[in-house]
Amino acid sequence: MAYAITQTCCNDATCVAVCPVNCIHPTPEERAFGSTEMLHIDPRACIDCGACADACPVDAVVPVDRLREGQKEYAALNAAYFEGRDPGTSVTGPNFHAWGRPRFERVLPPDFPRLRVAVVGTGPAGMYAAEDLLLHTDAEVTLVDRLPVAGGLVRYGVAPDHPATKGVGETFARFHHHPRVRMELGLEVGRDVTPEELAAHHDAVVYAVGASADRRTGVPGEDLPGSIAATTFVAWYNAHPEVAPDAVDLSAERVVVVGNGNVALDVARILVADPEALAGTDIADHALAALRRSRVREVVLLGRRGPEDAACTRSELLALTHLDGVRLVVDAHDPRVTDALDAARPQDKAAVLRGAERERVDWSRPPGAERRIVLRFRSAPVAALGGTAEGRAEETGGGVRALRVTGADGEAEIPAGMLLRAVGYRGVAVPGLPFDEASGTVPHEAGRVAGAPGTYVVGWIKRGPSGGIGANRTCAAETVGSLIADAAAGALPAPSGGAKAFHRLARRRSRHLVDARGLAAIQRAEEARGHRDGRPRVKLATVEELVATARGPRRLLPR
C-alpha cells in the first residue's frame, strides 16, 4: 500500500533525500519546488518502504490505508499530481543523477581553521542554517535570540491545533545541546550588543530574524480599538511574552478577518474551535480561559479575489471543511464566486469548496446560535467604522462596530466588534544592515549582505515572507554555501575576540541571559506543568517566568 503526504507537509524535502525510488516530487532540483504548496508521492512508483515517513519531521507522511477521516482526500490529491506523467521517468533528485566525477561543493579543506559563526534567530531559518553548518563543517555556532527561549516561529507562530507541525521543533532541539553550540538567549542585537561587537567575536554572522511586523490594510479606521493584527492574535494564543494576556477581547459575536491566507485560516479556526478540544494542546492558559468565555459565534474571512485565487494552501482550506461543530458557508453575493466553484476542476483549489454551503448572507441579521465561518470572496475592505450606528463616527470615538466592504451590488456594512488584519508579514530593519523598505528585506546576493563582508541573511528577512517552515531548508543551504565559499576564498574578516570573551560581554549587557542548561530547565518545567493537566506543555508566558525558571536549580543537559 502506497504512502500519501498530508496537510502538515512542511516542504523541507527530507523525505526526498531518503526515497530509494525517487517517487516524491517536486524535488529541490525541479522548477516547481519553489512554488508548490506541498510535496506528493506517486502511488504507482511507491514501494511502501516507509523511509519517507521515518524521515518526516512533522509526521505528514501516512500509509494510504491508515488515513483518518478528514485525511482520505490526500490519497487522491497525491495521485492527481502525477496524472499524465509516466512513473519513474524523472531523473532528478539526490538519489538519481548522471554518473560523473564526485563533486564536493560545500566543504572546507580538512586542515582549515575552525570557524566561529553567530546565528541570530532560533526559528526554522536560523536552525536550518545552524544544522547545515554543524553537519557539513567543523564550525562552532553561537545561537543568539532576543527572547530568553528558543523556537521562534515554531514556538510562537504555529497554531496549537497543529501539533504535528510543531514536531519539527524536536528536530531543531537536538542541536541546542550540540557540543559545538553555545546559546546566548535573551540577548538582542542592536540593544544589548551592537552588530559590530557581534561580528568582532565571530568569523561570520547569519541573521535569521524573520518578518515580525504586520502589513497594513491602508483603510481608514484600522487603528480603532478592536482592530488588531493577526500577528498579535497568533502571538497571544501562543503565550508570546511581548503580548499581554488581556490584549484580546472576545466579547463580540462576529469577527471579520481581512485576508484568506493560512494565518487568516488559523485565527478563524481558533476563534470558533471548541475550547475543550484546545485544552489538550499547548495553547496559552490565558487564551484558553478567554476562549471559554468567548461570545464569538461567527468569523468572516474577507478575500479580494475569487476562490480560485485564495491565498491559503489547498491543504489548509481542505481542513476547514472538516471542523467539528462549525458550519462553513460561502457568501454567494457575487455570481462570479459561485461560477468559479462550479467550474473548478478536481485539481483546482476552488474545488475544495464545491460542496460547501452557499448563502447570500444578510448582514443586517446578528449571528445565529451555531458556530460558523463565512468565506466572502471578491470583497475588499473600505473602512473600519467606529462609534455608534447613529453617530457613524468612522475614525474617532469607540471601538470597531462594523467594516465597510465592496461587493457585487456596491458597498455593504458587515457589523462586527472585532477586526483582525491578516494581509501578510513584513520584515523590520536590522540595526547596522542595509534595508529595502519596499520589500521589507535585507539586500543580498545568494545570502551575502551587500557591502558587509562576513554578514549573511536567511529566511524571511532574506527572501520576504513567503514559503513555510521547510522552505527555509533550501534557503539556508544557499546562504551557508555562500559562507563556506567565502571562507575558502579567504574573504571573511578575522575576528578580534573569542567565544569566551563574547559570553562575558553578553553576561554584562543582558539581565535575561539564558544558556542551553537554562533552556532545558524551561522545557522541563513547561512539560511538568502540562503533565499535570494532560497537555504536552504549559508555556511560561512572561520574560520574568522564563528567566527565573532557567536560573533555578540546575541539572544535567538531556542526552
pLDDT digits (tens, 9 = 90+) for 64-74: 999 998 899 99
Alpha carbons 70 and 78: distance in angstroms, whole number:
15
The answer, yes or no, to whether residue 106 has pLDDT greater than 80, is no
Helices 124-136 and 471-488: crossing angle in degrees, nearest 10, is: 50
> Do the beta carbons of residue 174 and residue 18 sit within 8 Å?
no
Measured torsion, CA atoms of residues 385, 386, 387, 392, in degrees rounded to the nearest 10: -20
What pTM did the predictor assign?
0.91
Alpha carbons 368 and 372: distance in angstroms, whole number:
9
- For residue 416, which amino acid is it? A
Q: What is the pLDDT of residues 467-513, one digit of tens each?
A: 889 899 999 999 999 999 999 999 999 999 999 999 999 999 999 99
Indicate the helix (H) or strand (E) that contains 344. none
CA–CA distance from 376 to each of 299, 373, 472 (Å)?
10, 10, 32
> What's the pLDDT score for residue 417?
97
3-state secondary structure string across 206-270: EECCCCCEECCCCCCCCCCCCEEEHHHHHHHHCCCCCCCCCCCCCCCCEEEEECCCHHHHHHHHH
Q: How confident is the model over 188-192, as a mean pLDDT?
A: 96
> What's the pLDDT score for residue 554?
54
> What's the pLDDT score for residue 384?
97
> What's the pLDDT score for residue 87?
57
Q: What is the pLDDT of residues 516-529, one digit of tens each?
A: 999 999 999 999 99
Alpha carbons 60 and 53: distance in angstroms, whole number:
7
> What's the pLDDT score for residue 540?
97
**3-state secondary structure (DSSP) of residue 25:** strand
The answer, yes or no, to whether residue 391 has pLDDT greater than 50, is no
Helices (H) and strands (E) in the chain, counts: 19, 23
Pairing of strands 254-258, 418-421: parallel
The answer, yes or no, to whether residue 426 has pLDDT greater than 90, is yes
Alpha carbons 148 and 160: distance in angstroms, whole number:
21
The answer, yes or no, to whether residue 396 has pLDDT greater than 50, is no
Alpha carbons 536 and 309: distance in angstroms, whole number:
36
- Residues sharing a CB contact under 8 Å with residue 464, sequence separation 6 or more, in sequence order: 211, 427, 439, 440, 441
Q: What angle do CA 421, 123, 52 make, to 5 degrees?
A: 105
Q: What is the pLDDT of residues 352-389, one digit of tens each?
A: 999 999 999 999 999 999 999 999 999 999 999 998 65
> Do the beta carbons of residue 320 and residue 349 sit within 8 Å?
no
**3-state secondary structure (DSSP) of residue 514:** strand
Alpha carbons 377 and 177: distance in angstroms, whole number:
48
- Residues sharing a CB contact under 8 Å with residue 63, sequence separation 6 or more, in sequence order: 1, 2, 3, 4, 48, 50, 53
The answer, yes or no, to whether residue 397 has pLDDT greater than 60, is no
